[in-house]
């Protein structure tokens, strides 16, 4: 049977001192085996009890019982202590080695802890630097995003103004069309009134002429001095006058018809343009209406699916629920696909708007730089002294001197304008 000794930790001593063997034996006394030893010794109680009576003539039962108890308790305790005292040197060496190992472990832990603290400090410093860099980058990113949002808001405002201008232009065009129609109606009425007035004047003139002719015929008839040839000539003249009147009337009618035809064609063209713009607006409205109807249909489908789900839960039909879930998955997948396509289209439109805004900004910048270069070139030519370099610049053979450009108010106000003017200045 192998004994397992109960080992208690020793009290720490100053460096250079060693524990006493008796102290080590006391601390490492196997108390767990003491009860077992006493129990084994109890089996010898009758022998001890009779041994005391026979050898020492102790007849008192109490005395013999006390002595027997003392022997049963003291003998195992003393034996275990002596055994522990014999093992004390080996225990002391083991404890000293363990203490040295713990000291090494503690020193290693301390060095590791110091290294970890140093590493943590370095990591904290690095994180602070990264955080400061992130804050700067975030500030720059926020400024860039603010500028982008400002550009986007500006583009949206310009688009809104463009739409309002287009609406005003459409209203103006409609008003112009209405004015043109009114003017055409007034013109037609004017032409008709002028035609009636001219016809009335001409009729009055013809009536006067016919009156004069009738008067002359009457006088000729009364006097009988005119011959038949003269009467025939007069009749021919009357016929010619009537033919001329008819020709003039036909010519006026033809001219009126031609002018009216030209005007009608112009009005038809304008009405076609107006109808085309109205058709485009109607198509845009129809597309928006179709999108609203699609969203309403989707909402209705979702409501119907919710109603079916409630009925399925009430009826607790597993098969119907499985089929319904399969249909719902398909519908939700289709809805997700539609939403994804709509988002992609929206992103593409936003990208196109951003690209168009950037292109417009670049074109405006190039136009501004070109205008400033033209202004500087005209100023240089105007203030030229007639030297060779001035003549070369005026002829396009040389560039404007940079020293002169750097003294101009535009360059002094905005030094970044100098690199932008360089491509235009190089010849």
**321 Cβ contact partners less than 8 Å away, ≥ 6 residues apart:** 312, 313
Query: In the numeric block, which tokens belong to residue 88?
Result: 């004390």
Is the pLDDT at 81 greater than 50? The verdict is yes
Chain segment 358-403, per-residue pLDDT in tens: 888 888 888 888 888 888 888 888 887 778 887 887 777 888 888 8
Is the pLDDT at 189 greater than 50? The verdict is yes
What are the domain boundaries of the chain? 21-116
Is the pLDDT at 127 greater than 70? The verdict is yes
Task: With 0.75 as the threshold, say if the pTM is over it.
Answer: no
Q: What is the pLDDT of residue 3?
A: 42
Q: Highest-confidence range of 104-118, 121-135, 318-332, by mean pLDDT?
A: 104-118
418 contacts 411 by C-beta, under 8 angstroms: yes
405 contacts 418 by C-beta, under 8 angstroms: yes
Q: What is the pLDDT of residue 2?
A: 39
Percent of the chain with pLDDT over 70: 74
Instruction: Give the residue carrying structure tokens 């009005």.
Output: 267
Min mean pLDDT across 60-64, 257-261, 370-374 is at 257-261
CA angle 322, 328, 333 (to 5 degrees): 130
Is the pLDDT at 1 greater than 50? The verdict is no
What is the number of alpha carbons within 13 Å of residue 199 lying toward its C-beta?
11
What is the number of alpha carbons within 13 Å of residue 186 lying toward its C-beta?
6
320: left (phi over 0), alpha (psi -120 to 50) or beta: alpha
- The mean of the pLDDT values for the chain is 77
């Amino acid at each position: 049977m192998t004994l397992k000794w109960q080992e208690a930790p020793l009290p720490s001593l100053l460096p250079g001192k060693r524990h006493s063997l008796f102290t080590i034996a006391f601390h490492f006394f196997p108390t767990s085996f003491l009860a077992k030893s006493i129990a084994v010794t109890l089996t010898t109680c009758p022998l001890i009890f009779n041994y005391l009576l026979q050898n020492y003539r102790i007849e008192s039962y109490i005395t013999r019982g006390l002595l027997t108890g003392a022997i049963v308790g003291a003998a195992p305790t003393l034996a275990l202590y002596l055994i522990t005292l014999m093992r004390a040197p080996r225990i002391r060496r083991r404890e000293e080695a363990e203490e040295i190992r713990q000291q090494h472990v503690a020193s290693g832990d301390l060095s590791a802890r110091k290294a970890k603290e140093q590493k943590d400090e370095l990591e904290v410093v690095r994180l602070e630097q990264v955080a400061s860099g992130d804050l700067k980058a975030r500030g720059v990113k926020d400024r860039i995003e603010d500028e982008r949002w400002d550009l986007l808001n500006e583009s949206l405002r310009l688009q809104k103004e463009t739409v309002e201008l287009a609406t005003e232009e459409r209203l103006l065009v409609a008003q112009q069309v209405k004015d043109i129609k009114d003017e055409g109606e007034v013109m037609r009425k004017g032409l008709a009134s002028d035609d009636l007035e001219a016809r009335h004047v001409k009729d009055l003139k013809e009536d006067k002429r016919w009156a004069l002719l009738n008067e002359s015929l009457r006088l000729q008839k009364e006097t009988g001095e005119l011959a038949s040839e003269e009467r025939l000539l007069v009749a021919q003249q009357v016929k010619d006058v009537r033919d001329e009147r008819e020709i003039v009337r036909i010519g006026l009618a033809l001219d009126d018809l031609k002018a009216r035809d030209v005007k009608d064609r112009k009005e038809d063209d304008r009405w076609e343009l107006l109808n085309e713009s109205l058709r485009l607006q109607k198509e845009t409205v129809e597309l928006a209406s179709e999108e609203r109807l699609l969203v309403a249909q989707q909402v209705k489908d979702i409501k119907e699916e919710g109603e079916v789900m409630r009925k399925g839960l009430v009826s607790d039909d597993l098969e119907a629920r499985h089929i319904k879930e399969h249909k719902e998955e398909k519908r939700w997948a289709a809805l997700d696909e539609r939403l994804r396509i709509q988002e992609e289209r929206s992103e593409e439109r936003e990208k196109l708007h951003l690209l168009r805004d950037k292109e417009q900004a670049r074109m405006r910048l190039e136009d501004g730089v070109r205008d400033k270069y033209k202004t500087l070139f005209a100023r240089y030519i105007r203030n030229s002294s007639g030297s060779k370099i001035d003549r070369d610049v005026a002829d396009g053979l040389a560039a404007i001197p940079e020293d002169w450009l750097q003294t101009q108010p535009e360059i002094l106000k905005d030094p970044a304008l100098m690199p932008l003017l360089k491509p235009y200045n190089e010849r």
